[in-house]
Amino acid sequence: MRRAIKRARILLLAEANQSDPEIADDVGVSLATVFHIRRRSCQEGLDALLTEKVRPGQPRPVRWASRSILDRPGVFDPAGRACPLDDGIVSGSTRPITGGRGHFGFHHAPRVKKNDLNSWQKREWCISQITSEFLMRMEDVLDLYELPYDPKPPQICCDERPCQLIGDLLVPIPMQPGKASRYDHHYERHGTCCLVVAVEPRAGFRFIQVRQHRTKVDDAEFMKTLVELPRYAEVERFRLVQDHLNTHTAGSFYQAFDAETARQLKQKCEYHDTPTNGSWLNMAEIELSAISKQCLDQRIPDQTQLECIALACVKERNEQEITITWRFTTTDARTTLHRHDQSIKN
């Protein structure tokens, strides 16, 4: 409608013997537009000029009300008759296709807007059942994080991350001036290993090991190495935050060491387990994410090289004394989860 009004104004001003530049200034269009409108009025007539033509372009985007057409299989011929989807027909294409019964036509997939929901999309998320056990473990960890900083006993968060050992079949081309490094998409898999990290968030210290497995014995040996570090020579008790797994218990010490050694380690370690599906409460996951982004976004063929790369990264972060500040408190948790109070009591 606005285009028709502009065209009518152009023609009225031209009938009043105004020049093309004056018409362009008055209507707010270009000089070329004035020329084309006057020419079309002579060639096509007034009625054709004031009536919008069918404009070519992309199909209209699918709206939520018409979303169901995405699930309608079939092809339509030029007469509008439905053609069955036989063997060899690819849904969603716009190329000519023929069915087993001699039908011929085009299957036009509707265009979906960028931010709309597509029929093939799906998201994964963790549905955690909020129970009294979940709340108890969550508040236990959050209360620990709110305690004033005390190096004796230290608060240490521990976690592990599985890593795939992948090597190149062809030697990558190193980076050159103006060209990024290049590598072939073929690779060779050399198994897996486990990256175990312990971080003292407020002190900016982290300790890391690469182990072949993640059994109870591996967890016990890692904890023994951690508590025997020279940094903790005078520490008598450790407050450990870990995921709620069967390997993260004091019983692992008795499976790996003799009874006396296991008893000494058990007395030193005070466990604070995160609830099931609540590993986001473990600050060691933040540290593992930072290490992964800095040095694990590459192909690493063997465990020795992985250990060298990870230790170099951890050494640099320890020298910088990068700390982690936790801001989610017990009060925030109760405000967020208050709607579950009634279901828990029932």
Q: Which residues are registered as beta bridge partners of 76?
A: 82, 106
Q: Per residue in 319-337, pLDDT tens?
A: 999 999 999 999 999 888 8
Compute the average pLDDT of residues 249-258: 93
pLDDT, position 273: 93
Handedness of CA 329, 332, 336, 339 (dihedral sign): positive
Compute the average pLDDT of residues 108-132: 67
pLDDT, position 6: 85
Average pLDDT of the residues of the chain: 82
Query: In 3-state terms, what secondary structure has residue 338?
Result: helix
Least confident of 32-36, 71-75, 177-181, 240-244: 71-75
CB atoms closer than 10 angstroms to residue 40: 14
| Residue 129 confidence class, pLDDT cut points 50, 70, 90 | confident
Compute the average pLDDT of residues 97-116: 47
Report the amino acid identity of residue 13.
L
116/189 Cα distance (integer angstroms): 38
Q: Per residue in 154-196, pLDDT tens?
A: 999 999 999 999 999 888 888 889 888 888 888 999 999 999 9
**What proportion of the chain, given as a percentage, has pLDDT over 70?**
79
pLDDT, position 100: 43
Q: What is the bridge-based pairing of β-strands 155-168 and 238-242?
A: parallel
pLDDT, position 59: 65
pTM score over 0.75: no
Contacts of 236 (CB under 8 A, 6+ apart): 152, 153, 268
